[in-house]
Amino acid sequence: MNLDYSQLLIDVQKKSNIIVNNVGDIKYLKEAIESFNNLKIGYNTLRRLFGFLNKTKPSLSTLNTLSNYLEFTSFTNYLKDNLNFDEWYFQQQLLLIQQTNDLNEEEIQIINTGLLHNKNIVMVAYFISNLIQTNNLSTLNKLFEKIDLSKRKFSSLLKFATIITHSFYSLNEKRALTIYNDLIKYETFRNTVPLLYIDYSHLSGIYFKVLMLIKNQSLVKSDLLFVELMDSYRQFYTGDICKNRNIKRPIGFSTFNPVLKGRFYGYKILLSSTINRSLIEELFKECKTTRVSFFLEEVIPALLIKEEYKILAMISDKFYEQIFESDYWYDKTMSSIYLIALANISLYSNNISMAKGNLELVVLEKVELSYYDYVSLFYYLTKIKISHLESDAITNTASFLILEKLVLKTGFIKFLEISRKYLLNQIV
């Protein structure tokens, strides 16, 4: 058996976490391969490859399929770049590049080859964090001009955005904004850092200033819509006078990311004195043409803060299964939002035990950092409502005090205004 061919089988087993010791393992390996990007490979083909049938030389198509599973475009590319599939090798390469304090074309190629594999993205994020910490603007500019993060998994990119964003937050604000300002011009940077890590915790502070940099430098319609909408959200939650009262759907709106489209409808809900029938019809129409679990991520919080329980119940009845269709780690944020919504719907139906059950399923610790304080505000507001109905003064007061600290951090006084209606004791 050819050495490269042997290594290919070893790498396939490493990725799948399935060590083929007997023919029964072949079935599980086949399922793992075929669950990745709709690849197809024969059961008997795998049996021959691993020696459970008479061996024959595998076809190039088979080798390409196994290479595709390892996130290479072909077996040829696997043979050329398979060292970067090894995490430790790639990490050592990054350490060597870091020591040069510069970046040439060959090193950029090494990084882009490594980024073909999602598991290497976190390493690159820490590499970039080091460049931010050392204020290496020259290398950062070269990197974001050439780096290729297209077609990477959303979950990996979100980890990338989280690590890099928090490396900025460890700097003083002036220095952080200087680096942001230098990198905002690159679409790759905008899309994988400030436009991906949507930071409600700092929406009244540094994140808002970063959004203004995007507004001043980007010509992309979806970027500008996002900035306008986030500014309106900031104004609504902080009690500021909302100046953006007439944000219109830009040309190409139907092609925008479902979360951004949902954010637009969230804005319309927040600024509506009453939710009219035409807006409800628009919401339901969009739910039929887009991924519901993403689209409603910002619609549901808007309905919650406006206490539109009847509409929430209608959405839950119609789209319950689609809402909970996701199973990736970052979907804990979405699931938490929807579980809080279900708790409020149960309260609306005067089913306190069901409301408590829904809320107990929320695991705040698993919510992504950018949404953590935002989701927590809705969580503790709901606890205040439940304890109010149960006349549980201890939980009521304790929940309000936590909510008060979150408001102090975020500046979202709207939550204080609403929560005071449900207090059992007057708190100074």
Give pLDDT tens digits for 216-258.
999 999 999 999 999 999 999 998 776 667 898 888 898 999 9
Shared-domain flag, residues 80 and 95: no
**Total number of domains constituting the chain:** 2
329 occurs within a structural domain: no
**Are 122 and 62 contained in the same domain?**
no
What would the two tokens of residue 228 be? 């306008």
What backbone phi and psi angles, to 5 degrees, belong to 207?
-65, -35
| Residue tagged 């203004």 (tokens) | 212
Q: Specify whether 96 is located in the same domain as 177.
A: yes
Structure-token pair, residue 418: 């609403």
Residues 59 and 99 placed together within one structural domain of the fold: no
Identify the domain boundary among 164, 197, 230.
197
Boundary-marking domain end, from 170, 197, 224: 197
In a domain, 50, yes or no: yes
Q: What are 139's two structure tokens?
A: 């290398």
Helical ranges in 56-205 per DSSP H: 60-69, 75-81, 87-100, 105-114, 121-133, 137-146, 154-169, 173-183, 187-192
Alpha-carbon distance 295 to 286, whole Å?
A: 8
Both 127 and 62 in a single domain?
no
User: Is 350 inside any structural domain?
Assistant: no
- Residues 56 and 101 both lie in one domain: no
Higher-scoring residue by pLDDT: 205, 37? 205
pTM score, whole prediction: 0.81
pLDDT of amino acid 288:
85
Query: Which of 90-94, 114-118, 128-132, 351-355 has the lowest average pLDDT?
Result: 114-118
Q: Is pLDDT at 260 greater than 90 in this prediction?
A: yes
62 shares a domain with 129: no
- Residue 25 within a domain: yes
Q: Note the pLDDT of residue 55.
A: 79
131 and 193 together in one domain: yes
Give the range of the structural domain holding residue 186, as residue numbers without chain letter.
Answer: 91-197
Domain identity same for 177 and 111: yes
- pLDDT over 70, % of the chain: 95
Question: DSSP 3-state assignment of 39?
Answer: coil
Look at residue 112 in the predicted model and tell me its pLDDT: 84
Q: State residue 360's pLDDT score.
A: 94
Q: How many CA atoms lie less than 13 Å away from 72 in the CB half-sphere? A: 22
Predicted pLDDT of residue 120: 87
Nearest to 382 by CA among 396, 370, 361: 396
pLDDT at residue 402, rounded to an integer = 97
- Residue 372 forms part of a structural domain: no
Task: Find, among 224, 244, 217, the residue nearest to 233 by Cα.
Answer: 244
Examine residue 146 and state whether it is found in any structural domain, yes or no.
yes
Spatial separation of the C-alpha atoms in residues 428 and 425, rounded to whole Å: 10
Domain assignment present for 204: no
Q: Are 64 and 157 in the same domain?
A: no
Predicted pLDDT of residue 327:
46
Q: Which residues contact 353 (CB under 8 A, 6 or more apart)?
A: none
Of 50, 85, 120, the position where a domain reaches its end is: 85
Does residue 146 sit in the same domain as residue 70? no
- If asked whether residues 189 and 95 sit together in one domain, one would say yes
Residue 359 is assigned to a structural domain of this protein: no
